[in-house]
Amino acid sequence: MGRTSKDKRDVYYRLAKENGWRARSAFKLLQLDEEFQLFKGVTRAVDLCAAPGSWSQVLSQKIGGQGSGQVVAVDLQAMAPLPGVTQIQGDITQLSTAKEIIQHFEGCPADLVVCDGAPDVTGLHDVDEYMQAQLLLAALNIATHVLKPGGCFVAKIFRGRDVTLLYSQLRIFFSSVLCAKPKSSRNSSIEAFAVCQGYDPPEGFKPDLSKPLLDHSYDPDFNQLDGPTRIIVPFVTCGDLSAYDSDRSYPLDLQDGSEYKYTPPTQPPIAPPYQEACVLKKTGRLAKEIRPQDCPISRADALSQPLAAPQRHTQLAPEVWKWGSEPISTPAQCASICPQSCGLGAEILFPASQ
């Protein structure tokens, strides 16, 4: 695998590098905008969970061009500075962060709040979906503080099992909720984007960051309901049909005839959690297993003899489960299943078939 492999396998990765975006996700926001005209009339935008900053780049380019546009990027992690973007390093669950955002807009609420944050996925899907839902709800919670009525909120969701709960939660605050998947988002990924337009909090709603918004709980049979009680959120794919396909592998010389040149990544990650571990690994300072055979070599006669024979196990076939029948694992039967196994642990070899 050469360094061009990724460029061939993922055209958006490559285009992002060539166009100076910090991540390929920039195209997702651009394609969402194509479909929903998100940036129309927007002058104040907030990018939550902004790092590495590709969405902030898009926002500053699209809104910053409209004269008085202001973009605030919030993230817990450090992010390399971006021109035209005000950065706040803070926790989106804290009220102080919300206040700081408003302060930057000189007391005016934001027109658009976007959140492309996702936890580092663990691979256990229920945990990942839960954490993503919590992140979205935290983003929604802070958005209720900073968003103007009629404003727009775009956030990444994982279309998992409990996604209907999230939709119902979002429907409380927005007049229109759509689920969109841009073409630059890979088919194999379960991510999609909730595009919520027309912020309209319920009568008497008071934003409160001290309490987390919990996901709605199911009526036991909520998910099974159909008909008017169940909210069906429209699913929209966006991105022109002629746009590049994120799952397709493209040859390096694209149609337009320009010659391919390798571009290094725009912005490498800043201080990832694994940084120290990587440095240690590179310098060979990770802890290593102490193996007796690597220890200072002992003379043969110094070796304690006889060595203890390791314990052995047999694996027996699963027990037949019969109601009311006698247990079969009497010692005699065990012996018949595995004649060597009784008593003499040392004789028995590695998981034997019965």
Q: Which residues are annotated as a binding site?
A: 53, 55, 75, 91, 116
Among 206, 283, 294, 332, binds another protein (CB under 8 A): 294
Q: Which is nearer to another protein, 149 or 292 (CB)?
A: 292
Among 248, 257, 283, 332, binds another protein (CB under 8 A): 248
Could you give the residue numbers annotated as active site? 156
Among 204, 264, 310, 332, binds another protein (CB under 8 A): 310
Among 81, 106, 188, 229, binds another protein (CB under 8 A): 188
- The reply on whether position 100 binds another protein by CB under 8 A is no
Among 81, 107, 123, 204, binds another protein (CB under 8 A): 123
- The reply on whether position 351 binds another protein by CB under 8 A is yes
- The reply on whether position 257 binds another protein by CB under 8 A is no
Query: What values do phi and psi take at 125, rounded to 5?
Result: -70, -30
CB of 27 within 8 A of CB of 12? Answer: yes
- The reply on whether position 298 binds another protein by CB under 8 A is yes
Query: What values do phi and psi take at 187, rounded to 5?
Result: -60, -35
Q: Which is nearer to another protein, 162 or 200 (CB)?
A: 162
x/- track of binding to another protein for residues 136-175 (CB under 8 A): --x--------------------xxx--------------
Cα(153)–Cα(114) distance, rounded to whole angstroms? 6
Tokens of 51: 């790092």
Cα(20)–Cα(351) distance, rounded to whole angstroms? 57
- The reply on whether position 5 binds another protein by CB under 8 A is yes
- Known binding-site residues for S-adenosyl-L-methionine equal 53, 55, 75, 91, 116
Indicate the SS3 state at residue 98.
helix
Of 120, 69, 113, 63, nearest to 92 (Cα)? Answer: 113
- The reply on whether position 221 binds another protein by CB under 8 A is no
Q: Which is nearer to another protein, 210 or 229 (CB)?
A: 210
Site for another protein in 32-91 (CB under 8 A): 76, 91
Tokens of 243: 């746009």
Cα(48)–Cα(45) distance, rounded to whole angstroms? 10
CB of 128 within 8 A of CB of 156? Answer: no
Cα(295)–Cα(175) distance, rounded to whole angstroms? 70
- Kindly indicate which of the ranges 48-56, 65-73, 114-122, 195-203 contains the residues binding another protein, using the contact rule CB under 8 A: 114-122
Chain-centroid distance of CA 148 in Å reads 28
- The reply on whether position 229 binds another protein by CB under 8 A is no
Query: What values do phi and psi take at 338, rounded to 5?
Result: -140, 90
- The reply on whether position 315 binds another protein by CB under 8 A is yes
| Amino acid at site 351 | P
